[in-house]
């Protein structure tokens, strides 16, 4: 059992005006007792009549963000306001109000409510620094709805400067001992609201256990690399060029690597780029982040395929973009639909900032934009003045043919190209790149420096060494063959075990996009898959608007063909049981009602 608090001593120290932290110190030094300040506060509350110490009064801005709808402050203010207007209080309001008043009465204080000013004076309590809570008159009269944007209180109403919303703003209910367990909950930017762990994401936690066949992740098969050769090269690199490799580098990236990158993109027809046009990034994910940062203001429209890469949707969401999905079919993005989407958005007064597209071996849809459509997409975007962000991590991983020319190969002004070593070499180095028109590139370099100063020199030089000393073309070829074999295993197993579903047969990349039998809901079914020791990503992860529950993404990049077949076998039993259930209850796949939360496996899971 825990150490006994010396009640008399603690009571005496409290009466002498010593604060909980000071008492903790005192007990540690003089009595050899370890307790928490919280324990002292609780002791004070429960076993003494010593009032809490009051911190300096602070003006806490009344905040009407949706997440504050139930905060103690708001409840207390609304309750006071309603009572002052002679309106009836709900049970919860009355209860909360009585509690606030009782707590304060016990501390010998009263609330000073001045409806004319719209103020509520709440005496501070230890650790809470609550002073005056105020609210703009407008929000007093109605409850905010979740869609209402955050408003800032009028500064003129403040007698003292308002803090930007520190712990006091939301940590604790007025007068109660309530806590939201996150003192900064009221401080987060609106863009952080969707950054929550979801039930679906939690279910992926089992996916890295060896018992589970994960068809969920996008991890390349690193065991396929000549690790011994790479190891020796890296050792040599640090031994001979360590003073550079371990130092800061250039914000734009290592020049030698940028030259090497041009050799790679030449395989996809980009022959007019200069090393100066290349910005090296920490994975192409950072490139995507930078591009979005420099182009997108909150509310701007980003066009993306339906479905689209989950990681891109997360970036767009974090910059508060509005994503408009554009349908794709077996030949990729549908040009007519693209044009319609642009025109519609513009005529609705929206600003369309760019088209984000994955032209090759799409993630998750597995399809490739045909050569003919590439020209049309370029033409439409050019005509409407819409920039194209071409995300191309899989372009060199085609199984049956040479790479198609990149969109960037036809247009050096209208296309920003994102490339990556993560799928063709090793994601652990976190190296990707952007090829952009000169003015865009200047901004990207500055934006990148402000976020990371410079990409990792050690990683860049390791990759340069790899490209210079290893047969990287041969490695890509080996990967292509390996992934083709795995694709065959997956497609074969699907035909054998899951004839009730439908899917495309990708001719490159990592993914098969499976449409479930009618009525099945991939999100709802995931727990059953976890029970059966197989994992996939529900289609809803790839839509901005909660659609996609009738699809799932299966990846064939990481498990061996044998494991893939076993995984699909397990999946078939999951689908069949779920189909029975759905027939029984007559339910349908339903949109995700809150698509903002993270629903994809974390990067280290596959």
Residues lying near other proteins in the complex (CB under 8 A) are found at 1-7, 34-36, 38-39, 42-43, 46-47, 67, 69-72, 91, 95-96, 99, 173, 176-182, 185, 196-199, 201-203, 205-206, 209, 211-212, 521, 524-528, 530-531, 533, 578, 581-582, 584-587, 590, 597
For the bound state, the minimum distance from the C-beta of residue 42 to other proteins, rounded and expressed in Å, comes to 4
Q: Tell which residue, 390, 404, 386, 395, has the closest CA to residue 338.
A: 386
Q: How far apart are CA 205 and CA 387, in angstroms?
A: 38
Minimum separation from the CB atom of position 597 to other proteins (A): 7
Q: Which residue lies nearer to other proteins by CB, 170 or 363?
A: 170
When the beta carbons of 504 and 577 are compared against other proteins, the nearer one is 577
DSSP 221-246: -GGGS-HHHHHHHHHHHHHHHHHHHT
Neighbouring CB atoms inside 10 A of 77's CB total 23
**Exposure on the CB side of residue 264, measured as CA atoms within 13 A:** 34
* Beta carbon of residue 592, minimum distance to other proteins (angstroms, whole number): 12
Closer residue to other proteins (CB): 194 or 437: 194
d(CA 603, CA 166): 32
Assigned token pair, 18: 């010593």
Q: What is the DSSP letter of 537?
A: E
CA nearest to 227, candidates 419, 470, 557, 486? 470
Residue closer to other proteins (CB basis): 187 or 375: 187
CA distances from 403 to 267, 368, 509, 530 (A): 7, 10, 12, 37
Q: From the CB of 320, what's the least distance to other proteins, in Å? A: 19
Closest approach of Cβ 30 to other proteins, in Å? 17
Q: Which is nearer to other proteins, 12 or 196 (CB)?
A: 196
CB nearer to other proteins: pick between 134 and 533: 533
**In the complex, what is the shortest distance from the CB of residue 144 to other proteins, in angstroms, rounded to a whole number?**
12
Between residues 35 and 552, which has the closer beta carbon with respect to other proteins? 35
Q: Which is nearer to other proteins, 7 or 343 (CB)?
A: 7
Q: How far, CA to CA in Å, does 446 sit from each of 202, 212, 225, 293?
A: 37, 44, 34, 11
For the chain, the farthest-separated pair of C-alpha atoms sits apart, in whole angstroms, at: 86
Comparing CB distances to other proteins, the nearer of 182 and 518 is 182
Could you tell me if 57 and 132 are in contact, meaning their C-beta atoms sit under 8 angstroms apart? yes
Cβ at position 211, least distance to other proteins in Å = 6
**CB nearer to other proteins: pick between 68 and 353:** 68
- Secondary element (H or E) of residue 433: strand 432-435
Q: How many CB atoms lie within 10 A of CB 18?
A: 17
* Cα distance between residue 66 and residue 147, in whole Å: 8
**Least distance to other proteins from the beta carbon of 209, Å?**
6
Closer residue to other proteins in complex, CB, 445/514 = 514
d(CA 276, CA 366): 32
Q: Please say which residue, 7 or 468, places its beta carbon nearer to other proteins.
A: 7
Helix axes 371-384, 335-347, angle to 10 degrees: 20
CB of 464 to other proteins, least distance (A): 38
Which lies closer to other proteins via its Cβ, residue 165 or residue 287? 165
Kindly tell me which of 62 and 354 has the beta carbon lying closer to other proteins. 62
Q: Do the strands 415-420 and 432-435 form a parallel or antiparallel pair, or are they unpaired?
A: antiparallel
The pair of structure tokens assigned to 254 is 């290592």
> Shortest distance, CB of residue 161 to other proteins, whole angstroms?
26
In a 13 Å sphere around the CA of 538, the CA atoms on its Cβ side amount to 32
Q: Judging by beta carbons within 10 Å of its beta carbon (0-12, 13-18, 19+), is residue 85 exposed, middle or buried? A: exposed
Long-range pairs, 576-584, Cβ under 8 A, ≥24: 576/500, 577/528, 578/520, 578/524, 578/525, 578/528, 579/500, 579/517, 579/519, 579/520, 582/519, 582/520, 582/521, 583/519
Rounded to whole angstroms, the Cα distance separating 418 from 406 reads: 11
Instruction: Name the residue nearer to other proteins (CB basis): 338 or 530.
Output: 530
The three state secondary structure string of 24-58 is HHHHHHHHCCCCCHHHHHHHHHHHCCCCCCCCCCC
- Alpha carbon distance 96, 2 (integer Å): 33
DSSP H/E element including 335: helix 335-347
CB of 387 to other proteins, least distance (A): 35
CB of 73 to other proteins, least distance (A): 11
Least distance CB 70 / other proteins (angstroms): 5
């Amino acid at each position: 059992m825990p150490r006994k608090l010396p009640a008399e001593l603690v009571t005496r120290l409290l009466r002498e005006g010593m604060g909980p932290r000071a008492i903790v110190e005192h007990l540690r030094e003089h009595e050899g007792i370890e307790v928490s300040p919280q324990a002292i506060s609780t002791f004070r509350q429960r076993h003494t009549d010593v009032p809490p110490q009051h911190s300096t009064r602070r003006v806490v801005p009344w905040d009407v963000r949706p997440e504050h709808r139930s905060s103690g402050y708001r409840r207390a203010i609304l309750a006071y306001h309603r009572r002052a207007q002679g309106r009836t209080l709900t049970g919860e309001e009355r209860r909360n109000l009585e509690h606030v008043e009782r707590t304060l009465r016990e501390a010998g204080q009263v609330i000073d409510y001045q409806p004319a000013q719209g103020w509520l004076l709440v005496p501070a309590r230890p650790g809470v620094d609550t002073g005056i809570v105020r609210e703009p008159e407008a929000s007093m009269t109605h409850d905010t709805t979740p869609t209402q944007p955050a408003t800032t209180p009028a500064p003129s109403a403040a007698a003292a400067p308002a803090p930007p919303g520190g712990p006091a703003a939301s940590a604790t209910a007025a007068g109660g001992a309530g806590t939201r367990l996150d003192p900064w909950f009221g401080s987060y930017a609106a863009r952080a609201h969707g950054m929550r762990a979801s039930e679906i994401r939690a279910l992926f936690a089992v996916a890295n256990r060896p018992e589970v066949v994960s068809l969920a992740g996008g991890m390349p098969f690193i065991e396929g690399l000549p690790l011994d050769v790479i190891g020796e090269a890296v050792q040599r690199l640090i031994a001979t060029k360590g003073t550079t490799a371990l130092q800061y580098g250039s914000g734009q990236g290592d020049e030698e690597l940028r030259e090497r990158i041009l050799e790679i993109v030449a395989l996809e027809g980009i022959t007019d780029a200069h090393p100066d046009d290349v910005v090296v990034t920490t994975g192409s994910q950072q490139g995507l982040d930078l591009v979005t940062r420099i182009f997108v203001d909150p509310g701007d429209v980003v066009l993306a395929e339906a479905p689209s890469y989950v990681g891109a949707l997360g970036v767009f969401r974090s910059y508060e973009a509005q994503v408009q999905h554009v349908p794709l079919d077996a030949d990729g993005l549908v040009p007519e639909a693209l044009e319609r989407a642009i025109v519609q958005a513009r005529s609705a007064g929206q600003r369309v900032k760019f088209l984000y597209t994955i032209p090759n071996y799409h993630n998750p849809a597995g399809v490739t934009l045909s050569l003919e459509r590439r020209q049309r997409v370029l033409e439409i975007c050019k005509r409407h003045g819409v920039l194209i962000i071409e995300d191309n991590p899989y372009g060199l991983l085609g199984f049956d043919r040479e790479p198609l020319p990149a969109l960037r190969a036809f247009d050096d002004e209208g296309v920003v190209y994102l490339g990556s070593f993560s799928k063709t070499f090793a994601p652990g180095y976190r190296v990707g790149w952007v090829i952009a028109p000169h003015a865009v590139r200047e901004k990207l370099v500055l934006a990148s420096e402000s976020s990371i100063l410079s990409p990792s020199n050690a990683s860049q030089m390791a990759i340069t060494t790899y490209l210079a000393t290893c047969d990287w073309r041969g490695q890509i070829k080996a990967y292509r063959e390996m992934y083709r074999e795995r694709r065959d295993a997956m497609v074969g197993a699907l035909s054998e075990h899951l004839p009730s579903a439908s899917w495309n047969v990708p001719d490159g990349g990592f993914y098969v996009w499976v449409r479930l039998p009618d009525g099945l809901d991939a999100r709802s079914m995931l727990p059953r898959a976890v029970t059966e020791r197989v994992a996939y990503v529900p289609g809803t992860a790839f839509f901005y608007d909660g659609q996609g529950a009738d699809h799932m993404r299966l990846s064939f990049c990481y498990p061996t063909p044998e494991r893939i077949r076993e995984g699909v076998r397990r999946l078939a039993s999951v689908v069949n049981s779920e189909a029975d259930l759905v027939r029984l209850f007559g339910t349908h796949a339903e949109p995700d009602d809150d698509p903002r939360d993270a629903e994809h496996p974390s990067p280290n899971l596959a």
